[in-house]
Structures are given as structure tokens and as C-alpha cells.
Amino acid sequence: MHYSLGIDAGGTYTDAVIIRDSDGEIVDSNKALTTYPDPLAGIKKVIDGLNKEYLENIKLVSVSTTLSTNTILEGNGFPVALILIGDHPLEKELPTGHVLFARGGHNHNGEEVSSLDLESIEKFALNVKDKVSAFAISSYFSTRNPEHELKVRDSILKLTGLPAVCGHELSQQLGAYERAITAFLNAQLIPITRQFVKSIIADMTERGINARLLMLKCDGSVIGIRDALQKPIETIFSGPAASLVGASYLSGLQTCAVVDVGGTSTDISSICMGVPDLSDEGAVVGGWKTRVRAIRMETTATGGDSHVWIVGRELFLGPRRVIPLAVAAVQYPDFLNNLKRTPMPAREDLGENIQPTKFFVRSGYNAGELSKAETEVLEVIGDEPVSVHEIKALIRKDLHPQTLDSLIKKRLVQAIGFTPTDALHVLDEYTAWNEEASRIGAERLARLMRMTPGEFCTAVKKRVARNMALHLLSYILQGVPYTAVEKILDGNYPAKFKLEIPVVLLGGPVRAHRKELEEFIDAEILVPEHAEVGNAVGALAGKGIKRVEILIRPASLMSPDKDFLVFVPGSRLRFDVYTEALSAAIEIGKKLVTDYMKDCGLSGNQVEVSIEKKTISPDGWNHPPMETNLLVMGVGMRGLPS
């Protein structure tokens, strides 16, 4: 009997599920806290809790993660230098201060318009190599000729030893700015994805599990682990994609909307007749538009571990993730006593980082370049949580909240605070951790709001449900102004939203929010069995999908019957006649698809390849097409029952 193992590493929990290959039955599952900075301990713990007899017969491991998505949402990714070659537009914002504009680039036919200024690029790389973790390279019209990007990549690797990402490797679409942003985000995620994959491989090797390793992409398809390491940007929304595929699998619904409540964020998406709803444009994450094909989704930085904080008498939720008080009291033995004795800060000092329930602990990441103030504060934050009151006493001076904010962004400090998870503990609706710590936190914050602890926790719970409803409606009602949805949702009109498609909820204690969500929206709301590990199920249920886009056009419109250019991913080819160019393009496309599928463990009748050809020619054109666009697509199924 053979089995498949699905693993999903979220911002808070790492989930695992084992499915029997013969009938698709879920035979075992487990959850464990995700560990930072190395997720290996969390992965080990979640797999240790699974049946060893099943583990001995695992033949396929498929993984998904929201770690990379959360990194960008929270604004604490690894530093990256961006090199823009050629005539890049300057009117838009760039996501890093380490930027170089260099001479070079090509035209729409892939011909060099300016020689590459490699000398200035190498000088820049040497100057910033100790300040960044990776390089992103984007050359003008690199999709038509990647020569300059490849030269720069090879040179940077030789000079610095750091990874360098090329824009043409990630997208064949035009749009220099978006391609540059895509390369930047990809480079930013390489260290995180590499660490995650290394942890998975290390644990599999230690257990003697000899299985094929796949990773879910953000369009709901799977990718071989080798490609995932090279292109982590394609897995940026693999967690949300897993929730979508997993929700459909668990509920048995081919059409539904999905609300996945995680620790850091809530993701809304939908599936229609078994096919994920894909975005017509590139995925947008953290406000940055990319060229990555992904499921269409609405994401809010509201989750079970979102920070609940008070300023004045206003309640704020998120956007940052913190360790819940209930969890911290279990992880750190003296934390409960510290929470009890920490004095209330002055009301006028309150802010996101100064709260009666806010504490800080070292994360385990190595410190890079720090200011004097950051160094002073980091030196007094250790392996046990400390409050702002304690930090001030230890540094013997006042503390600027911005210093703490900077250390959190640099991943050097992890915050602890009151969360919706704590509210559920107080309300006795989820009691996995230390209820007393949650109750003390609720009493302190409720006092600021002049509420009872129960009233305060109910208000937090209702805010979470409102956010879920608001983003679900915003997702479904495309084009309807956000403010209009809010007004109806908040009861400003005698009307209520009714949805015609069922809504599936996924996540740990998500059942606790079902009733409040039904008060906001009239819909069939389902919480399927195994909803708490739905993403791990989705990691296994994804299909193998590979799309290869190829462009054919004459080198010159002055002689349109000979000399044809073929632009395939990563190269530019030339052929004398159109029929040769078309035949070669089809064969290359098929090979790229079949090679990809082999890496996913799919071959033969498991893979269906289709070819779509579109041509463009003006009226009266008596020559081969002015432009031919080929889409070679392979769809592979591993035979996992649905």
C-alpha cells in the first residue's frame, strides 16, 4: 500500500496529512507550531506525530507554504539589490534603495541597442554585496534576448557568491517595470524558500523516506522542487492555492468560494467547475504588481495571530503577526509571571509597540547592519520575553518605538501580544494553549476600552468576522466600490448580502467564526472535516500544469517570406523559412512541457499536451503570418482520487 504526504508551512502552524493513494482517503493528520528562523524543528515535530507505518510507504511528498507571502505582507523580507539595464521607466516607485541603472538592453527583435556596461555593474555589486542577500536583474526586452541578463548574473555570482535572479526566467510577458519587480521579489524570497526546502529534504533523508518531492504553485498546479528553488516567486501564493484546492477536495464541491483563516492572513479565492479562478493580470502582493500567473484572490493581513492593540479607545487589528499570549505562556515558563507584574504604560504613550500586553524576544536570525540605537536595544533583548518597561530600565534611557519597529522588520526580534486566538481562549471557544495568559491580557486591554473582558473579546471576534465578510464580498463583487460594501455590511441600509455559491471555511479554530459570519452574510457556510489541515490536503491535490509561450515573427517586414525569429523561454532562434520555424517551435514547446512533467513524476498517458496557435496578419497580407503566438500546455494528473 502506497501513501502520499502533504505538508503546509504557515506563518503559525505547520500541517501534515497522509492520503492513501488507492482511494484518496485521509488516514492521518497532525499540526505543530512553525519554527523560526529554521522551520526544520516544526517540520520534524509535525511528522513525528504521524503513524510510522504509513511513513514507511510514502512515495510522494508535496508541500506548500505561506512563509514567502507573509514575508512580503509584513515587509520584513531579505534585502535585495536591483540592477536595471537599458531604457527602464523612472516614474514608478522601486522596492529597494540599492538600485543601479546601467547601459545596455535590446529592441523588440532582440537586437542589441547599446553595449552592456559590465564594469559599472561589477563595481556596484562589490559595493553592496555585504548589505544584501541577493541580486535581481532586469534588462530591457530581455524576453526577446536574455544575453545581457545572463552575462550580469554569471559575473555577480563569480564576484560575490550571492544568488542573482533574471527577469526573463520568470516571465515571457512584456512590461519592463513589472518584470523588474517580479525579479526583485523572487530574489527576496530565495533565502526563505531555500531554507524551507532544505528543511523538508533533511527530514525526509533522516527518516529514510525515498519519495518524489513537489511544491504547489500559486496557480494551483505543482512544480518540481528544483524549479521551486530557482523560481520561488511562482510559489508565493502556494498556501492560498493549497487552501483552494484543499477546500474543493474536502467539501466535494467543484464550485465554491473559500475563506482560509491562517495565523498571519485571511485569504479568499474561488473555484468553478474544478478550475481555480485565475487572475487576468499578474499576482499583486504587498502592493507590488508582478508578472506571476496566480489564482485571483483577496488577502487581508488579519489572522488568528494578528496583533490586537489599543490607542485612545480605538481597537486595531494587525497588520503584523505576533506570538499569542496563550502560546508564549507555554513556550516561555516565566512569561506568565512577567505578564502579571509588568506595569501599565501611560495612556498617552500607547502605540503599536507600546501596549500593556506587548513583549519582545530574540528571533534567532543573525544581525546585519545596525544603527547604534538598534544595537543597544538588541543587546538587552534575549531568549526570554521582555517588556518595553524592562528594555528602558536596561538601556537606562527612553526608547523610540521606531527602533523596535526596525528590529522587527529586520527579523531580529519577534513580538508577543494579544491576538484573536487569545480572545477565543477567554471565550472558551478554543483552548489549545494557556487560557490564564489570554485572560490577563484581555483584562488589561478591556480596561483601556472601558469594557468587561468578555465584551472586549466578543468585539475582537466580531471584528475578525467582519473583516472576513468584507474581503469575501470585495472579492465576489468585482468593480463595486469598497466603501459601498462597507456601508451595507455595517447596517447603514436595510439590506443584507446573499451569496448564490457555498462558502467553505478552512483554518484551525475557524468553526468559532461561523456564526458571526452568518450574521453578516446570507450564505451556505461549510466547515468540512479536516478543515484545520486543508492546506496540507491541497498541497497533494494540485495538478501538474505547464504553459510554454512561444512567439514567431519575421526578422524584417521588408522581407517577410524569409528569416524568421523564434522567441522561446531563455533564448532566441533563427530559421530561414516559416514552416521550419513553426515546426521547431512546436517541438521545443513539447520538450519543455514533457521535461517539466518528468520532474513532477508524470509521463505517458498521465500527461495531456495541447497546442493553441494564434496568428496576426493585416488585411491583404499574402505572406506567412506577421506574428504567431503558440501556447503549448501540458496537464498531468497523478491519479489521486477526487
Question: What pLDDT score was predicted for residue 230?
Answer: 65
Query: pLDDT of 336-349, one tens digit each?
Result: 999 999 999 999 99
The pLDDT, as a whole number, for residue 473 is: 92
Higher-pLDDT residue of 528 and 36 is 528
pLDDT value at 613 more than 90: yes
CA angle 14, 472, 306 (to 5 degrees): 45
> What angle is formed at CA 360 by the lines to CA 354 and CA 365, rounded to 5 degrees?
135
Q: What is the mean pLDDT of residues 504-520?
A: 89
Q: What 3-state class would DSSP assign to 522?
A: strand
Contact 28, 20 (CB under 8 A): no
Q: pLDDT (tens digit, 9 = 90+) per residue, 86-102?
A: 876 655 666 667 888 88
pLDDT of 155: 92
Where does the pLDDT of residue 642 fall: very low under 50, low under 70, confident under 90, or very high at 90 and above? very low
Overall average pLDDT of the 590-618 stretch: 83
Lowest mean pLDDT among 212-216, 369-373, 574-578, 625-629: 212-216
pLDDT at 284 over 70: no
Structure confidence by residue, pLDDT tens digits, 70-83 = 555 555 556 788 88
What average pLDDT score do residues 383-405 get? 90
Q: Mean of the pLDDT values across residues 576-595?
A: 93
Identify the pLDDT of residue 211: 85
pLDDT of residue 502: 96
Tell me the three state secondary structure of residue 111: coil
The stretch 108-116 carries a mean pLDDT of 83
Q: Quick one: pLDDT at residue 231?
A: 62
pLDDT-derived band at 309, boundaries 50, 70, 90: very high
Instruction: Write down how long the chain is.
Output: 642
252 CB neighbour count, 10 Å cutoff: 10
Domain segments of the chain as ranges? 80-191, 306-454, 542-636
Average pLDDT over residues 425-448: 95
Q: Per the structure block, which three cell numbers stand in for 432?
A: 489549545
Q: In the prediction, which pLDDT does 599 show?
A: 72
Return the pLDDT at 448. 94
Per-residue model confidence (pLDDT) at position 353:
92
pLDDT digit string, tens, across residues 354-365 = 999 999 999 877
Which residue type occupies 32? A
| Average pLDDT of the segment spanning 232-245 | 68
Residue % of the chain over a pLDDT of 90: 34
289 pLDDT above the threshold of 60:
no
Instruction: Tell me which of 137-146, 294-303, 503-512 is least confident.
Output: 294-303
Please state, in angstroms and as integers, the Cα–Cα distance from residue 32 to each residue in 15, 128, 384, 621, following that order. 7, 38, 21, 64
Q: Which is higher by pLDDT, 483 or 70?
A: 483
Mean pLDDT of 578-590: 94
HSE (side-chain half, CA atoms, 13 Å) at 307:
23
Per-residue pLDDT at 236: 60
Separation of alpha carbons 359 and 365, rounded Å? 18
pLDDT at position 461 over 80 = yes
Q: Rounded CA gap, 357 and 419, in Å? A: 10
Q: Give the residue, 279 or 51, on which the prediction is more confident.
A: 51
Q: Does residue 418 have a pLDDT over 90?
A: yes
Predicted confidence (pLDDT) at residue 638 exceeds the cutoff of 70: no
Please report the DSSP string for 30-44 in residue order: EEEE--SS-THHHHH
More confident of the two residues 20 and 186: 20
Mean pLDDT of the chain: 84
pLDDT band (50, 70, 90) for residue 413: very high
